[in-house]
Structure 1
Amino acid sequence: MNTFDRQAIIEQADREYDEWVEKMRIKDKEDRYPVWSMLGFGLFCMSLGFIVGRSI
């Protein structure tokens, strides 16, 4: 195996890894929406409870 073959294999592995990272980044981005919505709902409930508690 000469140096050019080795370099081509390394470059191909780098490209495949970059594609995998990008695919996981997109997948992880979709998984964050339920977390953010639950956090927003929790903050809404806390503020609503604070407002009701202050009014009593």
Structure 2
Amino acid sequence: MSTYDRKARMEEMEREHDEWAERMRLKDKGDMFTIWATLAFGIFCWSLGFLLGRTI
């Protein structure tokens, strides 16, 4: 395998990896909503518990 072929194959593999990473990023974008919603709900419950604890 010559140096040119090796470089061409590496460039092709990098391009395929970049395309795959972009597809995964777009696919996983919808999953982030549930993570953010759970985090927001957790912070809400924590603050509610803190306020309740302060009043008692």
- What TM-score results when the alignment is normalised by the length of structure 2? 0.68
Percent of aligned positions that are identical: 53
Gaps of 5+ in 1: none
Q: Deviations over 1:30-49 (max 9, x none)?
A: 22211111011011011011
* Equivalences for residues 24-35 of structure 1 within 5 A: 24-35=24-35
2:46 & 2:16 partners in 1: Cα distance? 45
| Alignment partner of 1:17 is 2:20 | no
Structure 2 residues not aligned, in runs of 5+: none
Deviations 1:8-48 (A, max 9, x none): 44433332221101111122222221111101101101101
TM-score normalised to structure 1 length: 0.68
Q: How big is the alpha-carbon RMSD for the aligned residues of Structure 1 and Structure 2?
A: 2.0
Q: Tell me, what secondary structure is at the counterpart of 2:45?
A: helix
